[in-house]
Amino acid sequence: MRIVVTRRIPEAALVELRALGEVRVSTQDRPLEPDELRKAVAGAHAIVSMLHDRIDESVAEAAGPQLRIVANVAVGHDNIDVRTLTSRGIVVTNTPGVLTDATADLAFGLLLTLTRRIAEGDRLLRAGQPWSFHLGFMLGSGLQAKTLGIIGPGQIGRAMAKRAEAFGLHVVYSGRSEPKETLLRQADVVSLHCPLTPQTHHLIDAAALRIMKPTAVLINTTRGPVVDESALADALLTKQIAGAGLDVFEHEPDVEPRLLELDNVVLTPHLGSATVETRTQMALLAADNVTAVLTGKAPENPVRT
C-alpha cells in the first residue's frame, strides 16, 4: 500500500501509517502546487490531505483507480470535491471532535483580545509609548449581559456558547433553517461556526453587516469565504460595526490590506486547532481513518454528501 501525505504531520501518526505500507511525505515546507500534488499522489491507495490542498477529480485521476481514501486532517472539507470522489468509490474522512475545544478557545480568545484591547495594548508598550494608568485609558467593553449570536450551532458553536455563558453572555443561535436576520439585529457579538458550503459563501456580506449593531463585533474561526472580506473592511472603516476577530481569510494566506491598518481588528494566522495536543490528535484520527479503510473496515469519520 502507498500512502501519500501532502505535508509534514506529527510523527506518531506517521508511525501508525508506516505499519500499513510505504509512506511518502511531502518534503516541501509549503502547500504543494496543483501540478506537484497530482504528481505526488500517483499510485496512492490513501492520501492524507491538508485543508489547503484542492482534492478534485483531477487529483483522483492522477492518483489512479487504486485510490481508496482521502483523509483530510481538518474538520472542514470544503477543499475536497466529496461528491465526485464518493461517486468514484473513494472514501473521504475528516477529523471532527478533537479540535472542538481548541477552536472555541481561540474564538473566545479573539473576542477577549478585541473587546479588552489586549493586542493593541501590547503594541503600545512595544512601541515604547509613554503611558500612565487613568480612568479613561484604553477602555474596552465588558462582555457581561451582552448577547452572543452563534451562526452554526455544531460542536464548535456549542463549545463557544459554553465559554460565553461562563463569562455571563446570553447566547442565541441561528442554524440552517432559522433566519439569521434576527440574530444579526440582536447580537453584540456574532461568531461564525458554520462550515463553508455554496450556501454559506459570503453569508456575511455588505447587507448582513448593515443589519449588525454599530457596537457589534464579528468573530470568524471557520473559513474565510464565509465573510465578504472587502465588505467587512468597508463596514469597519465606516464604523458600521465596531470590530472583528479573524483567524481565517478569504484568500489565505493573503489578508485584505485595509484590515491590517485597523486597531479594532485582531488577526491570527489560522490557528484555531493549533495546539500540540489537538494537532497530534487530528493526525492520529486521520491515520486511524486510513488504517480502517485500507484494512477493509468502516472509518470513524466518513464525510457524507
Q: Among all residues, which ones are annotated catalytic?
A: 223, 252, 270
Is the Cβ of residue 264 or residue 280 nearer to ligand GLV in the bound state? 280
Number of chain positions touching ligand GLV (CB under 6 A): 7
Q: Which of residues 78-137 bind ligand GLV (CB under 6 A)?
A: 99
The number of C-alpha atoms within 13 Å of 242 and in the hemisphere containing its C-beta is: 16
Least CB distance from residue 181 to ligand GLV, whole Å?
27
Residue closer to ligand GLV by CB (options 159, 211) is 159
Contact positions with ligand GLV (CB under 6 A) in 167-186? none
Tell me how far, at minimum, the Cβ of 247 lies from ligand GLV, in Å. Answer: 8
Backbone torsion region of residue 138, taken as left when φ is above 0, otherwise alpha when ψ lies between -120 and 50, otherwise beta: left
Q: Which is nearer to ligand GLV, 51 or 85 (CB)?
A: 51
C-alpha cell recorded at residue 58: 483531477
The residue written with cell numbers 487613568 in the block is 134
Q: Rounded to the nearest whole angstrom, what is the least distance from the CB of residue 299 to ligand GLV in the complex?
A: 17
Three cell numbers, residue 71: 483523509
Q: Going residue by residue from 259 to 298, which x/- string records binding to ligand GLV, judged by CB under 6 A?
A: -------------xx-------------------------
Nearer to ligand GLV, 111 or 241 (CB): 111
Q: How far is CA 160 from CA 125, 230, 246, in A?
A: 30, 26, 15
CB 264 within 8 A of CB 243: yes
Q: Is 157 in the site for ligand GLV (CB under 6 A)?
A: no
- Cα 72 from Cα 93, distance rounded (Å): 6
Range 40-79, binding ligand GLV (CB under 6 A)? 51, 74-76
Closest CA to 254 of 278, 280, 229: 229
| Comparison of 278 and 291: residue with beta carbon closer to ligand GLV | 278
Report in angstroms the alpha-carbon separations of 291 from 1, 25, 61, 70, 281.
11, 17, 22, 12, 15
CB of 270 to ligand GLV, least distance (A): 6
Q: Which residue has the cell 490557528?
A: 271
Length of the chain: 305
Residues near ligand GLV (CB under 6 A) are: 51, 74-76, 99, 272-273
